[in-house]
Amino acid sequence: MAEFQVVVIGAGPGGYLTAIKLSQLGQKVALIENDKLGGECLNYGCIPSKTMINTSDMYHKMSDLSTQGIEFESVKVDLETFQTWKNSITKKLRGGIDLLCKNYGVEIIFGTAKIRNPNLVEVINGENKKEISTEYIIIATGSRAKDLEDLRFDGNQIISAKDVLDLDKVPKSMLIIGGGAIGLELGTALAKFGTHVTIIEITDKLLPGIEQDLVNVIERSADEIGIKILLNSRITEISKESEVVVSIKNNDNVSNEKFEKVLVAVGRRANVEKLGLEEIGMKFNSNGFIQVDDKMQTNVSNVFAIGDVVGPPWLAHKAYMQGRKLAYHIAKIPANIQIKNIPYAIYTEPEIASVGLTEESALEQKYDIRVGKFQFAANARALTSDDGKGFAKVVVDNSTHEVLGVHIVGKNASELISEGVLGLNIGMKIEDIESSIHPHPTLTEALFEAALVSLDKSVHSFIKKSKSE
């Protein structure tokens, strides 16, 4: 029987990083994985999807560079070659994880884990079975795409995001069910490759939880690249022939349409099967995710959970920070790690990134606010890159001048948001941005200008003065 202080189940971004951190803090750690190091994010999600999005973006731009003086005789897409390149990236990153774990003394064990009790984990790999005793168990098994009762994944016509990222040819047409981040990201990539994309969303809004003025930019851009968006819509009938035939009810109108493939992107479900959690009395929430407290502890003594398996937001960086905080807690080493101001980034056209309170949520919480917004259409760096879509926005407490939220829709929004994250973490006031020199020409100047707008000090935006002034 092997002896460890901590067993981590799941080697995704939360699991392997937590295992390494625990080892750095002096703990003897075993890391159990039933598939590939890096988990869903590295192998089937975040990294492959961003690879496809980047490639589709380059292809799309190459087909229309004549205004910048660059012309091609022909540009074509070869997804088989793309897959080889994509797989080389994930392989390289997996190798890096393996090396890091070995260098830090984390023992990697491949197989399917089952928790027999809070101090005993059984691992099965083929005909081999191993029992591992431990003081603590961390569940970091992640989540997977959720299908629908009438739309079960078959890997061919009814597909998940994972299947999209393994395509070896560009589909002629695709229906995407779900107007969330995954559906919009992959829909945008495929549309840029030339797929006729239709996205249906059952509610009256794309990207629930995101401010409408940011979403408006995405909707206009989607229309420009040929994506058809149907809100207040659902599937009423479906049949699979050589193509998938669906009846789509949009408000009071019903239409019959054919698609080569249907992508179901309606959320995630926790990977908790086969872990034996019911047998040890584990509690779940109404959506099937593991319940934890602020220390990531479950209701079962010495058993913790982090990442997607505890519910949304389903973000790798959230899982990592939860794991870091937990590692110090288990090692009994003081650390001031707060899980707050979690940013999100959506890799649409253009990107969206956000942290903190939106205008709407700030008003709901009774803040007296001022807002500054600056368009990338007036940003020199954005225009030199032919990417003037979108804006940067700050939400500010009018009485204290503390920055409550930063929201960006535009080129490289995912990179630009970190200034906002740092600012919110340290209680930044809007004057802190105003007094910080941003290099020119850069996209970061848009956030600087948004700060100036909120203070009525901008010279690059026209601020209409009242007659009393």
- What sign does the CA torsion over 413, 416, 419, 425 have? positive
Give yes or no for residue 467 having a pLDDT over 80: no
Active site residues: 440
Q: What is the DSSP letter of 455?
A: T
d(CA 455, CA 429): 11
Residues 6+ apart with CB under 8 A from 2: 30, 130, 131, 132, 133
Range with the lowest mean pLDDT among 68-82, 284-298, 342-356, 394-408? 68-82
Instruction: Work out the angle at residue 203's Cα, subtended by the Cα atoms of residues 197 and 209, and round it to the nearest 5 degrees.
Output: 95
- DSSP 8-state assignment for residue 286: T
180 contacts: CB under 8 Å, gap ≥ 6: 206, 207, 208, 265, 266, 267
CB 310 within 8 A of CB 283: no
Q: Are 171 and 55 in contact (CB under 8 A)?
A: no
The token pair at 61 is 């731009």
Cα gap 242→248, rounded to integer Å: 19
What would the DSSP string read from start to end of 136-155? EEEE---EEE--BTTB---S
Mean pLDDT of 177-191: 97
6-14: average pLDDT: 98
d(CA 385, CA 403) in angstroms, rounded, equals: 29
pLDDT value of residue 31: 98
Whole-angstrom distance, CA of residue 165 vs CA of residue 439: 37
Burial 195-214 (b: 16+ CB within 10 A, else e): bbbbbbbeeeebbeebbeeb
CA–CA distance from 266 to each of 175, 203, 251 (Å)?
Answer: 13, 12, 19
- Least confident range of 58-62, 107-111, 461-465: 461-465
Write the pLDDT tens digit of every residue in 266-319.
999 999 999 999 999 999 999 999 999 999 999 999 999 999 999 999 999 999
Residue 202 token pair: 């059952």
* Distance (Å, whole) CA 412 – CA 385: 11
Which of 159, 213, 216, 164 minimizes the C-alpha distance to 185? 164
Confidence band of 468 (pLDDT split at 50, 70, 90): very low
Percent of the chain, pLDDT > 70?
98
State pLDDT tens for residues 185-240.
999 999 999 999 999 999 999 998 899 999 999 999 999 999 999 999 999 999 99
**What is the Rg, in whole angstroms, of the alpha carbon atoms belonging to the chain?**
24
Beta-carbon count within 10 A of 88 CB: 10
CA distance linking residue 108 with residue 440, whole number of Å:
47
Q: Are 265 and 178 in contact (CB under 8 A)?
A: yes
Token code pair at residue 114: 């089952």
Mean pLDDT of the chain: 94
- For residue 346, the SS3 value is strand
Q: What is the pLDDT of residue 419?
A: 97
Q: Domains, the chain, ranges and CATH?
A: 2-144+269-330 (3.50.50.60), 158-264 (3.50.50.60), 350-454 (3.30.390.30)
- Dihedral-angle region of residue 9 (phi above 0 means left; psi in -120 to 50 means alpha; beta otherwise): beta
Q: Which of 99-103, 213-217, 334-338 has the lowest mean pLDDT?
A: 334-338
**CA proximity to 165, closest of 269, 51, 314:** 51
pLDDT of residue 462: 66
**In the predicted model, is pLDDT for residue 386 greater than 70?**
yes
327, 261, 300: which is closest to 106 by C-alpha? 327
Can you list the alpha helix ranges (DSSP code H) found in 291-387?
A: 316-330, 359-364, 380-384
CA torsion through residues 410, 413, 417, 419, sign: negative
Kindly report, residue by residue over 41-98, the tens digit of the pLDDT.
999 999 999 999 999 999 988 877 777 888 877 888 999 999 999 999 999 999 999 9
Please report which confidence band the pLDDT of residue 437 belongs to, taking 50, 70 and 90 as the band edges: very high
pLDDT at 172 over 90: yes
Position 465 pLDDT exceeds 80: no
Q: Are 305 and 284 within 8 A, CB to CB?
A: no
Which pLDDT band holds residue 433 (cuts at 50, 70, 90)?
very high
The Cα 298–Cα 42 span in angstroms is 26
Taking the C-alpha atoms of residue 456 and residue 186, their distance in angstroms, rounded to an integer, is 39
